[in-house]
Amino acid sequence: MMKTFDAAMLKRIAPTGKPGILSGFARFLNDRASLFSTELERAHFIAQNAHESAGFKTVTEYWGPTAAQKRYEGRKDLGNTKRGDGKRYMGRGTIQLTGRANYRDFTQWAQRRWPDAPDFEADPAALQGDPWCYLAGAWYWDTRKVGDQVRGDKQDVVRVTQKINGGSNGLADRKAYLARTLAELQLEGDETADADEGMLQKGDTGPAVRALQQTLKELDYWDVGDVDGEFGAKTEGMVLALQKDRGLFVDGKVGPKTWASLKNDKTKRPISKERREATVEDLREKGSVVIKENDKAKTAGKIATIATTGYGVYEGATSQPDKGSIATQLSDTADKALDQAGRARGWIDGFADISTWAVAKFGSVIAWLWAHPMILIGAGLGIAVWYFNHRAQQARVKMYQRGEG
């Protein structure tokens, strides 16, 4: 007996899927379970539809048009014989049914079973509706005998993909969805023979990799940086760490057992000594976006402070003093005190003159700055920007040390 699906199960397979599509596709899988001879065949169907619909996010092809989409126009093998057919019969449904001829054939197939089914050739947009957007995939799977390619060996996914799109486009992504589906269905024995081919590994890209990275982040294995959908050295390192912590086979590849662990065990990563003692420089080397943005802001603060201070020095050196200003009067007083200190009769008089000079000179500087508020404001803002971003970096380090992302 086929396993009953719900939207929550499909969301674990395609975490970024839209709720409406996930629930509709789950309902379709349960209502049309008889279309598939084995659970393994249905797993392949789910994986292929997940890839073609960008992780169950759309039932309509994203239209640019791209160079490939422009070539839809006039393709007789797709039945696109009239001007505008390329876009008119763009990919629709979770399987991305494409071309006038396919729309016509699907109409005939559907109306034989459901007489009130729309004429999709006349009304292409109707193919986006429930249940037709899911049934189109079933029609293609059935009429093209795609299920015959599922033989329980490691080449299943390659053969199925070739039957779906004529090549191997997105093969790594399709394999990843298949691995997650197999883990969700908890298939065992011969039916998991193709699971190794469905794993995620270094070099893979796409929505499934992004979902993996997001899950690693939620479990505190994704240290710093952006989730980017690219399985590179950093992602591999995080997978290796998780496998080591959980007693899994440590190979940096995400197969059914690793997926099952990610799905069923939400225990967060234990905080290592290295993490507890991390510094700003450690996070900077790891590529922390927060630290890098704070570095930029701190640099801007330094530049602002230096620029405004430099402007003040330049203006002070080149401008003519105002004889009646407080700054000039205090400066004159300081100069006289310094002159008297050189002619002082004793150390007490000399100390008094030096003190008068220091106070008067400091006062003249403050008075001059007070008369030029933009210098004070610019320097103050620069220092404030540097200080608060420095504090933000320290706070980010504390969060990291506590294991909070």
- Write out pLDDT tens, residues 164-190: 988 888 888 899 999 899 888 887 433
pLDDT recorded at residue 188: 46
Is residue 340 very low, low, confident or very high in pLDDT (cuts 50, 70, 90)? low
- Mean per-residue pLDDT, 259-270: 84
Is residue 258 very low, low, confident or very high in pLDDT (cuts 50, 70, 90)? confident
pLDDT recorded at residue 146: 93
- Mean per-residue pLDDT, 199-223: 81
In the chain, what percentage of residues exceed pLDDT 70?
A: 77
**Model-level pTM?**
0.51
Burial of 320 (0-12, 13-18, 19+ CB in 10 A): exposed
pLDDT recorded at residue 192: 39
pLDDT recorded at residue 375: 64
Residues 6+ apart with CB under 8 A from 352: none
Closest CA to 160 of 184, 75, 170: 170
Is residue 197 very low, low, confident or very high in pLDDT (cuts 50, 70, 90)? very low
pLDDT recorded at residue 255: 79
pLDDT recorded at residue 316: 57
Inform me whether the pLDDT recorded for 195 exceeds 50.
no
pLDDT recorded at residue 89: 97
Is residue 113 very low, low, confident or very high in pLDDT (cuts 50, 70, 90)? very high
In the chain, what percentage of residues exceed pLDDT 90?
A: 35
pLDDT recorded at residue 306: 78
